[in-house]
């Protein structure tokens, strides 16, 4: 049985082509009342990627601790970004990251190359800045949208069946 040529080509590549992960942070507490959005993906600094009609800067980042559990515990992943020349210091000190919404888009590489807006989207908010090393890195603790102190879970309602039940 012959191996398809596309499988051989894929096996000889030096880089993994599976998925590209994009992040978008919408900052809060902007002084002028405007909206500041930071768009980035992991990659070599100084270059950009065009996808979904937007420009995404390349910024070294790492997302750790993301897990799913069927128990009561909630996952609180951490996102670490490189902080070149302290560019994130001022927003961190002024509290613009606290409570900001962050979206994670996981896209297949072939969809990025053909500019198709097909992605697996996850939404978090930044609970707090865990670590800030000026000129080196900044780390955030991410939380699920339902993981806030004032979140109220809707009550369960029993509704009668549309048709009467039958018993034997």
Question: In the prediction, which pLDDT does 71 show?
Answer: 67
Question: In the prediction, which pLDDT does 17 show?
Answer: 60
CA 83-88-60 angle, to 5 degrees, is 30
CA distance 161 to 22: 45
pTM (whole model) above 0.75? no
- Each domain of the chain, given as residue ranges in start order, spans 16-144
Q: On the CB side of 77, how many CA atoms lie within 13 Å of its CA? A: 18
Bridge-based pairing of strands 36-41 and 54-58 is parallel
Question: In the prediction, which pLDDT does 155 show?
Answer: 65
Question: In the prediction, which pLDDT does 79 show?
Answer: 92
Q: Among positive and negative, which fits the CA dihedral 37, 42, 46, 48? A: negative
pLDDT averaged over 10-residue windows placed end to end, the chain, 168 residues: 69 66 86 80 84 90 79 77 86 86 90 88 88 87 75 65 69
């Amino acid at each position: 049985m012959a191996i398809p040529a596309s499988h051989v080509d894929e096996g000889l590549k030096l880089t993994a082509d599976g998925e590209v992960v994009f992040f978008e942070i919408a900052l809060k507490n902007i002084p002028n009342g405007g909206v500041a959005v930071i768009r980035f993906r992991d990659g070599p600094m100084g270059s950009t990627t065009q996808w979904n009609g937007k420009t995404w800067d390349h910024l070294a980042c790492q997302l750790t601790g993301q897990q799913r559990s069927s128990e009561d515990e909630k996952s609180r992943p951490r996102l670490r970004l490189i902080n070149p020349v302290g560019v994130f210091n001022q927003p961190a000190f002024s509290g613009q990251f606290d409570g900001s919404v962050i979206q994670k888009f996981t896209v297949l590489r072939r969809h990025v190359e053909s500019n198709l807006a097909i992605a697996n989207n996850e939404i978090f908010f930044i609970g707090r800045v865990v670590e800030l090393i000026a000129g080196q890195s900044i780390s955030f603790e991410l939380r699920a949208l339902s993981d806030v102190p004032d979140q109220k879970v809707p009550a369960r309602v029993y509704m009668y069946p549309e048709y009467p039940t039958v018993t034997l």
